[in-house]
């Protein structure tokens, strides 16, 4: 199963970040939260979280899956980190699992032209849908090869369970 990285940036949506962390850990996965800034990160609702690691202190190649939560400006802050974008690009090309929810499919993946050959969903804001263009699927969770995307916090649990299904693991509820 390997290691899964959940990336955090100031302004992240806590349901979209912490639901996968919880569900994957219940399923026995090794999950690390990785900040693209300081180790203490603040969510959109001012919840402070201490990440396991900062991005400059890890080798992204050691991870078998990446999770990109949404939230604004969290998704925008993720999209500004070159090491993360390079890591996501390499992961997609290496058929490693990449997961993005809410704004991140548009603001991170589409913005950096990382959706070639994939379909995705995102938060149903007109600007985000426009960014996905003909890649957009109007569903709550979309699985397209090694890419799993979801439309927002209302789908955080379904998103997390779909990641478990993809990995062949079951959460212990």
Each residue's pLDDT tens digit, 18-63:
999 999 999 999 999 999 999 999 999 999 999 999 999 999 999 9
Query: In this structure, is residue 109 part of a structural domain?
Result: yes
Q: Which of 67, 143, 138 is nearest to 108 (CA)?
A: 67
pTM value is: 0.97
The number of domains in the chain is: 1
| CATH number of domain containing 86 | 3.40.50.880
Query: In this structure, is residue 85 part of a structural domain?
Result: yes
Query: In this structure, is residue 173 part of a structural domain?
Result: no
Each residue's pLDDT tens digit, 125-147:
999 999 999 999 999 999 999 99
Active site residue 122: no
Q: Which structural domain, as residue segments, surrounds residue 58?
A: 3-167
Query: In this structure, is residue 103 part of a structural domain?
Result: yes
Q: List phi, psi (to 5°) of 116.
A: -60, 125
Query: In this structure, is residue 172 part of a structural domain?
Result: no
Catalytic residue among 54, 99, 102, 164: 102
* pLDDT bracket for residue 2 (50, 70, 90): confident
Distances (CA, A) of 43 to 11, 17, 20, 37: 5, 9, 15, 13
């Amino acid at each position: 199963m390997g290691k899964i990285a959940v990336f955090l940036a100031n302004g992240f949506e806590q349901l979209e970040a912490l639901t996968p962390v919880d569900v994957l850990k219940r399923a026995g996965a090794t999950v690390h939260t990785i900040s693209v800034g300081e180790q203490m990160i603040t969510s959109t609702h001012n919840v402070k979280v201490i990440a396991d690691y900062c991005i400059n202190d890890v080798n992204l190649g050691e991870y078998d899956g990446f999770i990109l939560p949404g939230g604004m400006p969290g998704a925008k802050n993720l999209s500004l980190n070159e090491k993360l974008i390079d890591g996501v690009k390499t992961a997609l090309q290496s058929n490693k699992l990449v997961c993005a929810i809410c704004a991140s499919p548009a603001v991170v993946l589409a913005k950096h032209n990382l959706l070639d050959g994939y379909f995705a969903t995102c938060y149903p804001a007109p600007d985000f849908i426009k960014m996905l263009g003909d890649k957009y699927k109007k569903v709550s969770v979309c699985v397209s090869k090694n890419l799993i995307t979801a439309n927002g916090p209302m789908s955080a649990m379904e998103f997390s369970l779909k990641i478990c299904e993809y990995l062949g693991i079951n959460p212990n509820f």
